[in-house]
Structure 1
Amino acid sequence: MEEEIIHQIALSLTPGIGIALSRQLVSYCGSAQEVFKASKGKLTRIPGIGEKTAEIIHAREGFSVADFVYEQALKQNVRILFYTHKDYPTRLKQLPDAPMLLYYKGTADLNAKKVVAIVGTRNATTYGKKVTEELITSLSVYPDVLVVSGLAYGIDITAHKASVKHSVPTVGVLGSGVDTIYPAAHKNTAQQMFDNGGLLTEYTFGTKPDAPHFPDRNRIVAGMSDVTIVVEAAIKGGALITAQIANDYNRDVMAIPGSLDQPYSAGCNRLIRNHQAHIYTSLSDLEYLMGWAEETGEKNNPSVPIPWMQQEGLSESEKSILTLLTTQPDILIDDLSWKSQIPVNQMASILLTLELQGLIKSLPGKRFSLA
């Protein structure tokens, strides 16, 4: 196991081997260790791998620091999560630009049943902080929720602090190495988060928090979450970038409306106006959007049968899809695939069968609902 992890670290640090190529290499060779054992001839037969890339792999440049990184991970109690690791965030893994390798220090389950990203301006107002606190308090009723944010000033740190206060697991995604807490003023909160949450990053030890890292950090926040909630945001800023990334990933986005004369509500109001975010006014909005309401006894009366439940001969996959459509009546095929864990190529065939049976109907934009 130790050797494989060192090889995974080396592969992630090999120049010119990005996310797509690393997946291709591991897919064909079976593991990171086998990638470095493969001959140049075998490597060049892999689609996308040319002579130059094969030479780079054989140069084994990534090994110059891989042993050091592994030793630091052991010393600092940091877990190395290669994208094939069972604890790697599964929601993130399915995205084409997911990091090859993550550094994680903490105790929270990165694959919690409900993962909610909470983001917003660094210049949080009293209103924004109050709403964030109330949001976390509401989420604390769920034993299986994880709150994700970026440990930044403003809304981010308010969300983390409120999560610690209310014993809600929370993970901060960094734009630096896990050994570099930024901003330094949040070090105490980060230390408290390790007991019921943690810190996550794609950057190796000693990496400084350079500006270009933060948009990359934002994609992890959005990609590992079921829904991104924007509490406060100006017309431009990192929170809106995170919301845009979440939309690009076909993940749900919510925004909290604010006063028309408040500059740090302008971004949220615009997201809602442009139908780029669902409105959040209370936990019930989130429960409805995500299909969680029935867990708190606010959903359909179970004594009233849903028509498809009386249909005989349905497979487990078909039942899973119909159940999702019951709680979310208008959903993209990609979201159906992700939430049901049924590959898209299989999903299309199942949806066609259900449509021919008159149980569902297709909508514009590859969306589906119950018939």
Structure 2
Amino acid sequence: MLTPGVGPEHARKLLSAFGLPEAVFEQSVSALSVVVPSRLAQSLQTPPEDLEAQVDRVMAWLAASTDRHVLTLADPRFPPDLLQIADPPLLLYVQGQPEALRHPRRLAIVGSRNPTPQGETNARQFAFALGQADVCVVSGMALGVDGAAHTGALDAGAPTVAVVGTGLDRVYPKRHLALAHRIAAQGAIVSEFPLGTPPLPAHFPMRNRIIAGLSQGTLVVEAAVQSGSLITARLAAEQGREVFAIPGSIHAPQSRGCHALIRQGAKLVESAQDILEDLHMAEAPTAPETPTPRPDSLLDAMGYDPVSFDALQARTGLDTATLQARLLDLELDGEVSRMPGGLLQRIGQS
């Protein structure tokens, strides 16, 4: 894999033709050229310049902790579902528990890096409910929906798997350092990229195929029309996995991707139970019912779309002091959130 130009596809062809990696390097250029382009056959005759340093780096990384692993295609712990996708990774670096990758119930939760307050709440609450139903949540440890999904699963005491686009000796984004430690302790962090690999833009679409491939279904919480989350959803559909989407406000850009998926055949969901039933997981113990919020005419007046203070005052007829006080109470109760631009949004229970 360190040989320039040899990606997973060419590597799998070589292994299929010649067997173990050692046998690949015993072949002549002419024999290799039957399987891969001649330029790669020639490259395989010379060890990569950084091979020895990279091997030493991996061995030191493995020796530093018992929860670090490198899984090849031949390893019995390699997740079998990944073998069914069109472009499975040749090997996986894992920090945490490899058995989390083979958990009997796995669902990907993906979405915007800049979700609305409601979207972030939905991600966390869906993941919490699914975690209580013994579902392992798979996501990408990005900011926004990914981080909320991992947190919800962890808070439910469930395993969660983070598939990342860097080497495992780096944490990206850095603000998720504490979250990464929690995930490794309770689940697993996974990457196909060598140690030392920085967060390059091209790596994140690549890791999305692993997120989709590890999961029996993919839930998109919020996503713009052009987003990595829709790439994950498309890959899931191509792999024959279920795709779910949460509808949102017709005025929110972050909801348009979900609405597009629903038009294309994704299943609209309003609760975690919808997903459990569709994936035949409903026999598992489910999360207790969320208490019904107390009736509040101000919340009714807000609706679920972002609203300005002036518009809300016009709807309710409340004076400024009274409305500000009521809104503060609702904010402290976690039922209303302030958004950029001075807008207010009701945070519903999922």
Aligned residue among 3, 8, 14 for 1:14: 3
Summarize the Cα distance change of 1:52–1:262 in structure 2 as closer, same or farther, 3 Å threshold: closer
Structure 1 position 116, deviation (Å): 0.7
1:309-324 equivalent positions in 2, closer than 5 A: none
Instruction: State the alpha-carbon separation in 2 of the partners of residues 250 and 28 from structure 1.
Output: 28
Name the residue aligned to 1:59. Answer: 46
Amino acid at match of 1:211: P
**Number of matched pairs:** 282
Name the residue aligned to 1:236. Answer: 226
Name the residue aligned to 1:166. Answer: 156
Aligned residue among 176, 183, 188 for 1:186: 176
Structure 1 position 218, deviation (Å): 1.3
Amino acid at match of 1:53: L
Instruction: State the alpha-carbon separation in 2 of the partners of residues 191 and 40 from structure 1.
Output: 45
Give the unaligned 5+ runs of structure 1. 1-11, 298-371
Amino acid at match of 1:122: R
Instruction: State the alpha-carbon separation in 2 of the partners of residues 69 and 84 from structure 1.
Output: 22
Name the residue aligned to 2:17. Answer: 28
Instruction: State the alpha-carbon separation in 1 of the partners of residues 81 and 91 from structure 2.
Output: 14
Aligned residue among 278, 282, 287 for 2:267: 278
Name the residue aligned to 2:95. Answer: 105
Contact 1:119 1:156 in 2 (8 A): yes
Partner deviation per Cα, 1:136-189 (whole Å, 9 max, x = no partner) = 22212333x321111111110001111221111111111111111111000011
Partner deviation per Cα, 1:238-290 (whole Å, 9 max, x = no partner) = 21121122222222110011122222222112211222x11111233212321
Structure 1 position 28, deviation (Å): 2.8
Q: Does 1:48 align with 2:35?
A: yes
Classify the secondary structure of the residue corresponding to 2:132: coil
Identity %: 36
Amino acid at match of 2:132: V
**Cα RMSD (Å):** 2.1
Classify the secondary structure of the residue corresponding to 1:293: coil
Name the residue aligned to 2:133. Answer: 142
Structure 1 position 50, deviation (Å): 5.3
Aligned residue among 205, 214, 226 for 1:215: 205
Name the residue aligned to 1:288. Answer: 277
Amino acid at match of 1:254: F
Name the residue aligned to 1:71. Answer: 59
Classify the secondary structure of the residue corresponding to 2:102: coil
Amino acid at match of 1:132: A
Instruction: State the alpha-carbon separation in 2 of the partners of residues 50 and 230 from structure 1.
Output: 39
Structure 1 position 296, deviation (Å): 5.8
- Structure 2-normalised TM-score? 0.75
Instruction: State the alpha-carbon separation in 1 of the partners of residues 32 and 261 from structure 2.
Output: 46
Instruction: State the alpha-carbon separation in 2 of the partners of residues 202 and 136 from structure 1.
Output: 25
Partner deviation per Cα, 1:197-236 (whole Å, 9 max, x = no partner) = 1211111111110111111121211121111100111222
Name the residue aligned to 2:322. Answer: none
Instruction: State the alpha-carbon separation in 1 of the partners of residues 143 and 42 from structure 2.
Output: 44
Contact 2:132 2:157 in 1 (8 A): no
Instruction: State the alpha-carbon separation in 2 of the partners of residues 214 and 20 from structure 1.
Output: 18
Contact 1:73 1:80 in 2 (8 A): no
Instruction: State the alpha-carbon separation in 1 of the partners of residues 152 and 283 from structure 2.
Output: 26
Amino acid at match of 2:240: N
Amino acid at match of 1:68: D
Instruction: State the alpha-carbon separation in 2 of the partners of residues 21 and 178 from structure 1.
Output: 24
Contact 2:129 2:156 in 1 (8 A): no
Aligned residue among 106, 109, 118 for 2:109: 118
Amino acid at match of 1:59: T
Instruction: State the alpha-carbon separation in 2 of the partners of residues 55 and 270 from structure 1.
Output: 47
Contact 2:136 2:153 in 1 (8 A): no
Instruction: State the alpha-carbon separation in 2 of the partners of residues 152 and 165 from structure 1.
Output: 18
Name the residue aligned to 2:312. Answer: none
Summarize the Cα distance change of 1:76–1:211 in structure 2 as closer, same or farther, 3 Å threshold: farther
Higher relative contact order (CA 8 A, sep 6+): 2
Q: Does 1:95 align with 2:95?
A: no
Instruction: State the alpha-carbon separation in 2 of the partners of residues 192 and 249 from structure 1.
Output: 30
Contact 1:79 1:103 in 2 (8 A): yes
Give the unaligned 5+ runs of structure 2. 287-350
Q: Which has the larger radius of gyration?
A: 2
